[in-house]
Structure 1
Amino acid sequence: MEEKSKFNTRYLIRQPLALQWFDNGKLCKRSEEERQASRFELFLDLLYVAILANFAETLAEDVTGVKLVKYILILSPSWHVWSDLRELMNSFYNDDLLQRILILWVMATLVVYGNNAPLVDEDISAMRSAVGAYIVARMSATLAHLFYSFSSYHHRAQQRLWFCTSVVGLCLYIPLFVESLSLRKKIAVAAVAIIFEEVAWLFCYSPTAKRMLGARYTTAVDISHEIDRFAAFYIIALGEFLYTIVVGSPAATGFNLSLLRAVWTLIIAFCLNWMYLHNDCSVESTHPLRHSIPTAIAWAPLHLPLIASLLAGGHVAAASAKVTTSGEASAEGGGGEGEESFSDGQRWLLCASLGVGMFCLYAIALLHASKDTGCILMLPKPLRLMMRPIVGLILVLLPLAHKLNLTETLSIVMALVVFCVIWENVTSLQRGAKIWESWTDTSYPEGGNKGYWVSNANSNAPPGGQATDEFVEPGKEEPVLGNSSASA
């Protein structure tokens, strides 16, 4: 009967139920188990690796103010689609057939969007395809929220408010389908629509909306899953530093300046990942999502400029490995092929993007609430983190040093980022900390590493007993590990 009961719980399509919610301000959870990102969510992230790389490459090829605006306007909608699925899976993940089909469907629309978005300023068909794919992707996730609101009452009020505001926001994109509308006006329309969607999201899940609705049951997030998903997207951005320095063997052959720049790019990405994980360098701190509502609301949107800046800067840093050694040598001698292939616009994009990224990492770290009491660390939190904005400012202004060649510029960027990491790790050591921990218990205990095998086929074996071998530690009469059939 028990097996039959277990079998009856298996459905292709399960009832979507809220995994966590607030009941008059009291957090309730359907299960206390910590949930990590599902395999299908990670599969979705793989597609974003390619989409974001395509956007960054489009910007790096021609760094102008117009291209930068386009980069922001096409990256933000893709972030919104990813956020929709993140929120849906955070609150209602049950891994049934409908959710898997929804992920596949949204990924298919993202393939359309990712291919057409870089061409929106060149072809009206690309504009219509990209905008149409985006509307379909967001509407699919929004309709899923509406559908789930009938299945579970815990998030119902805010889900339906979100559905209404999302439909209004998507309608703002309709003028982009009109061919006669000028590109300048379309940029304004897209900017207004993106800002409206950001504000709508903040409003629908804010305490103000909860009070306005007067709802007893309101939304809550699985904080561990939320942190995990944002960290995964951050890793995707850092992947832009690493992909280009290997694919196509741009730094071959042997030891050369291109290889040096590739290694510097790797070190920069490694240190940026280190700083994100290090947060505010405290021994014990409270995450912004757990600290307060204002810090939680600020923490999530800060990831959009962080991701956008590191994607652009990472792609340019990695592209520096494609500059040939001979070209770089010519550049050092007075401007040659290598220097020409790496324009001043790309230098500004590299340094300014990484500088903005450092400012964002600084702001995110400040949102963490340190729980350290007393002066247990070498320096207080403001002094531990002060190198992030200082390094960020230096990076933003670094392109003004026109005499620096490409290798020298990237070397300085790498040195500044490494110095920031060293500063934070040294100043966050506890007072009285030592560099080297003395090794203890390195010798084998009495009797050595080997036990000995005792056969049951000896004088102690019972009459008619089966002979087996058992492992016995020296000095012990009872076996501690055996494979005897008698014990089985």
Structure 2
Amino acid sequence: MGEEQKSEHRFLFRQPRALQWFEGGRLMKRQEGERQAGRFELFLDLLYVALLSNFADTLTEDISGAKLAKYILILAPSWHVWSDLRELMNSFYNDDLLQRVLILWVMAVLVVYGNNAPLVDEEIGAMRSTVAAYMVARVSCNLAHLLYSFASYHHRLQQRLWVGASTLTLCLYIPLYFESVSMRGKIAAAAVAVSVEEMLWVFCYSPAAKKLLRTKYSTAVDIPHEVDRFAAFYIIALGEFLYLIIVGSNAAIGLNLRLMRAIWTLIIAFCLNWLYTHADCAVKCTHPLRNSVYTAFSWALIHLPLIASLLAGGHVAAASVAEEEFEDPQRWLLCGGLGAGMMCLYIFALLHGSSDHGENLILPKPFRLAMRPITAIIIVLLPLAHHLDATEILSIIMALFVFCVIWETVTSLRKGAHFWEKWEETQYPEKRVANGDAEAEADNGQTSP
């Protein structure tokens, strides 16, 4: 929108222009400065709050291996749609009428998807509606990419490769329309399709594709915007920890064990946000998107299992406010989800490039991060302690997360760091102000009343 603000002309439909690209291996940007997520991108995220909550609620109603597979297979496609729009807005955001209508249209289609996806194993109509909604959403984004490839040459070859490959991959979902195909066959087809889509995304935007296409101009991402969008989706997943500890007023009245579990759930979510923000605890670090091609793709891909794990575990943790005891499936989902999420956060931190070799931190990176995998393993094994009730399990998990946060915060300080900074210059500089005012008045030929 920077160009539009400088221009005297306004347009309902603006020419899509690449915001950044590589030209002969050199990064080029149309505008300098950091770009944050647009208002309509954030509006899209609001719908995902409801989508993710609905998916997690469906899983926790009847926890089983089949339900877990369904949960993953309905969550991943919704993530792909969100990624499509993120990719488009990162490269071509101009906030014109076409982009706003596209977001609204995709959101409308996602309403169909979100309402039908939890019922795919119960009604063939729900299965068909879900698959059709997903295909329409992906094709809509692909058509936008195709249109933009005519308006801007900077990403043209890779855009068209992606449009062709991803559209063909949608054919893998066709068996899900047929009632004659068994549920096992449909699960297998969906799993293959989701996996192929992930691999295609990596390939189409990788250096291998650029080399294959012999491109002079190739895709690049606005890193601050990309980081901002992924962080926003992570916050949506953490919202699942907080929603049920308030809705329904299950922790009323006064001080009680339900309230304690609600507070413990809040602290766990707060620690997870802290660990994500803290990354690898380094004073100087290189973000995975800047570090290398391998760390960049790994960083993006790790978010799906990270969010899926925390979403499931967070829903059970929050639901414990209304329940006195955990059944075995709930125990395993809670501990497995939070443990897997913590392990993903460990990998997430390892992907950051640390440059603190000469900074004399209290502990080097491997030891600073050591509590993440240790905490993950302990949490995953907690369900084996059958004598623990819901309050005790949540108390142990909360204590482990808090200890991990304290450990990383303290060990990432420089050697000789002080606990408390001395407060200085807390008084108003009255003499200096008075003298300054007197001098100013004398210069202006004025006197104080």
Q: Same fold (TM over 0.5)?
A: yes
Residue-by-residue CA offset, 1:16-35 (whole Å, 9 max, x unaligned): 01000001110000001211
Counterpart in 2 of 1:477? Answer: 440
From the two aligned structures, give the one with the greater helix fraction.
Answer: 2
2:41 is aligned with 1:33: no
In the other structure, the counterpart of 2:343 is 359
Counterpart residue number, 2:69: 69
Amino acid across the alignment from 1:366: L
**Given the two structures, how large is their TM-score scaled by the length of structure 1?**
0.88
CA gap of 1:294–1:480, structure 2 versus 1, over 3 A, is farther
Counterpart in the other structure of 1:372: 356
Matches within 5 A, 1:328-347: 338-339=324-325, 342-347=326-331
- Partner of 1:237 in structure 2? 237
Question: What residue is the counterpart of 1:190 in the other structure?
Answer: 190
Aligned to 1:125: 125
Partner of 2:19: 19
Letter in 2 for 1:380: P
For 1:196 and 1:236, locate their aligned partners in 2 and report how far apart those are by CA, in whole Å.
Answer: 26
> Deviation digits for residues 25-76 of structure 1, max 9, x if unmatched?
1000000121100000000000000000000011111111110000000000
1:286-365 equivalent positions in 2, closer than 5 A: 286-323=286-323, 338-339=324-325, 342-365=326-349
**1:167 shift after superposition:** 1.0
Q: Distance in 2 between matches of 1:223 and 1:94?
A: 17
Change (3 A) 1:7 1:157: closer
> Is the 1:377–1:431 contact (alpha carbons within 8 Å) kept by the matching residues of 2?
yes
Classify 1:35/1:480 alpha carbon distance in 2 versus 1 (closer, same or farther; 3 Å): farther
Give the superposition deviation at 1:373. 2.9
- Cα displacement (A) at 1:102: 0.1
Q: How many correspondences in the alignment?
A: 440
Contact 1:473 1:480 in 2 (8 A): no
TM-score of the aligned structures, taking structure 2 as reference length = 0.96
Q: Which runs of 4+ in 1 moved over 6 A?
A: none
Equivalent positions of 1:112-151 (< 5 A) are 112-151=112-151
Look up the equivalent residue of 2:344 and give its one-letter code. Answer: C
On the 8 A contact 1:473/1:479 being kept in 2, the answer is no
> Which residue identity is paired with 1:477?
A
Q: Please, which runs of 5 or more residues in structure 2 have no aligned partner? A: 445-449
> Which residues of 2 match residues 92-103 of structure 1 at below 5 A?
92-103=92-103
- Matched residue, 2:415: 431
Q: Identity, % of aligned pairs?
A: 69
Q: Match for residue 335 of structure 1? A: none
Q: Per-residue CA shift, 1:363-390, capped at 9, x if unaligned? A: 0100000111325100000000000000
Counterpart CA distance in 1 for 2:81 and 2:441 is 63
Matches of 1:426 and 1:280, distance apart in 2: 13
Superposed CA RMSD: 1.6
Q: 1: CA distance between counterparts of 2:128 and 2:428?
A: 72
Instruction: For 1:87 and 1:379, locate their aligned partners in 2 and report how far apart those are by CA, in whole Å.
Output: 38
> Counterpart amino acid of 2:421?
E
- Mark the CA change 1:477 to 1:219 in structure 2 (over 3 Å): closer, same or farther: closer
Aligned-residue offset at 1:9: 2.4
CA distance in 2, matches of 1:256, 1:273: 26
Q: 1:448, CA displacement in angstroms?
A: 8.4
Give, as a single letter, the amino acid of the residue that structure 1 aligns with 2:196. Answer: F
1:361/1:388 contact within 8 Å kept: yes
Offset of residue 473 of structure 1? 4.8
Matched with 1:422 is 406
Q: Which amino acid aligns with 1:414?
A: M
Check 1:153–1:410 CA distance in 2 against 1; reply closer, same or farther (3 A cut): same
Mapped pair 1:177 → 2:177: yes
Q: Which residue of 1 aligns with 2:110?
A: 110
By how many angstroms is 1:446 displaced?
Answer: 4.0
The one-letter code of the counterpart of 1:395 is: I
- Matched residue SS, 1:252: coil
- Pick aligned residue for 2:393 from 409, 417, 424: 409
SS of residue paired to 1:218: strand
CA contact (8 A) 1:288 1:367 kept: yes
Partner of 1:226: 226
Q: Does 2:91 correspond to 1:91?
A: yes
Please tell me whether Structure 1 or Structure 2 has the larger radius of gyration of its CA atoms: 1
Residue identity in the other structure for 2:383: P
Which whole-Å CA distance do the structure 1 matches of 2:134 and 2:182 have between them?
21
Q: Which structure 1 residue ranges, 5 or more long, are not aligned?
A: 324-337, 452-471, 482-488
Q: Is the 8 A contact 1:20 1:222 kept in 2?
A: yes
Q: Which letter does structure 2 place at the counterpart of 1:429?
A: L
The residue aligned with 2:447 is none
Deviation per residue, 1:169-223 (Å, 9 max, x gap): 1111111001111101000000000001001000000000000000100000000
Equivalent residues in 2 for 1:436-451, closer than 5 Å: 436-447=420-431
Distance 1:19 1:479 in 2: 54
Query: In the alignment, what sits opposite 1:270?
Result: 270
Q: Would the aligned equivalents of 1:55 and 1:118 in 2 still touch at CA under 8 Å?
A: yes
Counterpart AA for 2:407: W
Q: Which one-letter code corresponds to 1:114 in the other structure? A: G
- Which amino acid is 1:116 matched to? N
Shift of 1:441: 1.1
- 2-structure distance, mates of 1:477, 1:66: 79
- One-letter code of the match for 2:103? I
